[in-house]
């Protein structure tokens, strides 16, 4: 034989067939509706619930708690904590119509709360367009302006992520924040902050991992690889490039970019066979495979044919192959020139020209090197990025070697290179820490 209920509250809870978790959820929802905004809503823990239903209270709970209970049951709090009336008395009965009405009100309230915890698709579309626009125009902007814009976009993505509880929107905002972070890394690198670029690339990779977006992880991994060889760690760069190539969902452009980065790392190590093999892989005809980032968004996330040719030229220079380096540099310049003026990348044109000059120096053509450098001098100060400065510094070093040491033209070109580097934005802003350990 079971003990009879000690309180009316126990009877009513039994009629509703509520366990503690059910009661607590209803109590919390009712408190949010019943207590004035700005006040601290009362709560109920499981031990309190047990004491209330067991009739072990000596005094009534706080006034706010009593108001919540009265709103839940339509009975005064003093009656709820008193013994239940006898079976002959009028005990508040379970009313199906009232229960349905209360459930409907709760559902409406909770649906409204859920709607308030999402953001407009228009807002999401605009942010996506803004990130894409920055990526596509990145090479026409100064690195400082690109950095500032990317920082604002990442902050906006995070702010919007705090305002939505919709899983799909959360994932999209993680991806957008990660893309902005990857662009921040590129801008930091171009401004000469290799440590900052590394941290930002790792953050982009983490965003990609959290969002389960493999192309972003691969892009960030490639960025970490080239930062590593610019920082004097080519063996680590090879490992990072290999790891990035292991991610799934990558298109042809992504794989060509990673192969080119791997080739350059092997070039810094002097591994001729591996470098040539990676160059060949980067030049292979694709299979028509695309991905959302490198192809869908493109721009800085893509890897244009002229950038690929310039990168291959730099790798050949590291291997001492001036003839092949010159051919790739010529190819890069032809591709840049074929683009509309507004879409031509000054850093790529300047970098390919510096590589062309270096290739000509390898086989003794000082006048040809001087002609190639004419296009370098035209690169605006705010677009003299790390890779370009590394290439021109390599030329400067070559001009001091035999057979050019002491030649009037070599001295003149060397001084112009020094001025070119000194007047770059990163030197003016004091963001560069001297020439990178390895050339671009």
Q: In the predicted model, what is the mean pLDDT of residues 429-440?
A: 48
Q: Is the pLDDT confidence value at 360 over 60?
A: yes
Q: Is the pLDDT confidence value at 202 over 90?
A: yes
Q: Is the pLDDT confidence value at 106 over 90?
A: no
Give the pLDDT score at 438.
40
Q: Radius of gyration over alpha carbons of the chain, in Å?
A: 34
Q: Is the pLDDT confidence value at 406 over 50?
A: yes
Phi-psi region of 17 (alpha: psi -120 to 50; beta: other; left: phi over 0): left
The residue whose two tokens read 């290439």 is 391
Q: In the predicted model, what is the mean pLDDT of residues 335-357?
A: 95
**Domain spans, the chain:** 8-115, 123-300, 304-440
Share of the chain above pLDDT 70, in %: 88
Fold topology of 304-440: 1.25.40
More confident of the two residues 50 and 153: 153
Q: Give one DSSP letter per residue of 128-190, joined into a string.
A: HHHHHHHHHHGGGS-HHHHHHHHHHHHHHHHHHHHT---HHHHHHHHHHHHHHHHHHHHHHHH
Give the pLDDT score at 238.
98
The dihedral over CA atoms of 160, 164, 168, 173, expressed in degrees to the nearest 10, equals 10
Give the C-alpha separation, 189 to 147, whole Å.
10
Collapse the DSSP code of 276 into the 3-class scheme (helix H, G, I; strand E, B; otherwise coil) and give the result: helix
Domains 123-300 and 304-440 share a fold: yes
DSSP letter at 166 equals: -
DSSP letter at 342 equals: G
- The answer to whether 433 touches 312, Cβ cutoff 8 Å, is no
- The answer to whether 75 touches 92, Cβ cutoff 8 Å, is yes
- The answer to whether 290 touches 296, Cβ cutoff 8 Å, is yes
Give the CA distances from residue 191 to residues 136, 156, 186, 386, in Å, rounded to whole numbers and listed in that order: 19, 23, 9, 6
Give the pLDDT score at 1.
42
Q: In the predicted model, what is the mean pLDDT of residues 43-47?
A: 86
Out of 53-57, 138-142, 211-215, which region has the weakest mean confidence (pLDDT)? 53-57
Q: 305-318 and 346-362 are packed helices; what angle lies between their axes, rounded to 10 degrees? A: 30
> What sign has the CA pseudo-torsion 227, 231, 236, 238?
positive
Give the C-alpha separation, 68 to 250, whole Å.
56
Fold topology of 123-300: 1.25.40
Q: Is residue 436 very low, low, confident or very high in pLDDT (cuts 50, 70, 90)?
A: very low
> CA 180: distance to chain centroid?
5
pTM: 0.74
Out of 56-70, 189-203, 230-244, 276-290, which region has the weakest mean confidence (pLDDT)? 56-70
Give the pLDDT score at 440.
41
> What sign has the CA pseudo-torsion 70, 74, 75, 76?
positive
Give the pLDDT score at 298.
95
pLDDT, tens only, 264-314 = 999 999 999 999 999 999 999 989 999 999 999 999 999 999 999 999 999
Burial class (CB in 10 A: 0-12, 13-18, 19+), 348: buried
What length is written for the chain? 440
Give the pLDDT score at 408.
97
Average pLDDT across the chain, whole number: 89
Out of 100-109, 173-182, 202-211, 301-310, which region has the weakest mean confidence (pLDDT)? 100-109
Q: Is the pLDDT confidence value at 94 over 60?
A: no
> What sign has the CA pseudo-torsion 170, 174, 179, 180?
positive
Q: Is the pLDDT confidence value at 160 over 90?
A: yes
């Amino acid at each position: 034989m079971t003990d009879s209920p000690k309180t009316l509250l126990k009877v009513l809870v039994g009629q509703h067939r509520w366990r503690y978790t059910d009661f607590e959820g209803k109590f919390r929802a009712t408190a949010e509706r019943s207590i004035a905004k700005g006040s601290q809503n009362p709560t109920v823990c499981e031990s309190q619930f047990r004491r209330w239903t067991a009739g072990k209270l000596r005094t009534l709970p706080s006034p706010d708690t009593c108001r919540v209970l009265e709103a839940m049951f339509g009975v005064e709090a003093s009656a709820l904590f008193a013994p239940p009336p006898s079976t002959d008395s009028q005990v508040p009965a379970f009313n199906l119509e009232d229960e349905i009405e209360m459930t409907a009100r709760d559902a409406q309230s909770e649906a409204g709360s859920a709607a308030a915890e999402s953001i407009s698709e228009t807002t999401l579309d605009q942010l996506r367009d803004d990130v894409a626009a920055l990526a596509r125009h990145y090479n026409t902007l100064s690195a400082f302006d690109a950095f500032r814009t990317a920082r604002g976009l990442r902050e906006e993505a995070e702010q919007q992520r705090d305002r939505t509880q919709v899983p799909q929107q959360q994932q999209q905002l993680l991806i957008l924040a990660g893309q902005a972070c990857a662009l921040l890394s590129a801008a930091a690198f171009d401004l000469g902050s290799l440590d900052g670029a590394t941290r930002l690339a790792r953050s982009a990779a983490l965003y990609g991992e959290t969002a389960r977006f493999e192309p972003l992880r691969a892009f960030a991994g490639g960025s970490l690889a080239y930062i590593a060889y610019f920082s004097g760690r080519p063996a680590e760069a090879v490992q990072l490039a290999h790891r990035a190539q292991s991610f799934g969902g990558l298109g042809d452009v992504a794989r060509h970019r990673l192969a080119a980065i791997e080739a350059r790392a092997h070039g810094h190590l002097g591994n001729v066979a591996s470098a040539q093999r990676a160059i060949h892989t980067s030049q292979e005809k694709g299979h028509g495979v695309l991905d959302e980032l490198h192809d869908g968004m493109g721009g800085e996330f893509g890897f244009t044919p002229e950038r690929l040719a310039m990168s291959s030229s730099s790798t050949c220079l590291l291997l001492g192959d001036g003839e092949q380096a010159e051919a790739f540099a010529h190819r890069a310049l032809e591709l840049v020139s074929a683009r509309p003026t507004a879409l031509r990348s000054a850093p790529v044109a300047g970098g390919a020209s510096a590589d062309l000059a270096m290739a000509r120096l390898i086989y003794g053509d000082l006048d040809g090197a001087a002609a190639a450098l004419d296009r370098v001098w035209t690169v605006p100060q705010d677009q003299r990025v790390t890779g370009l400065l590394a290439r021109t510094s390599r030329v400067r070093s070559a001009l001091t070697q035999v057979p050019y040491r002491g030649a009037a033209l070599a001295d003149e070109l060397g001084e112009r290179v020094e001025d070119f580097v000194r007047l770059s934005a990163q030197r003016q802003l004091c963001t560069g820490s001297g020439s990178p350990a390895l050339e671009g």
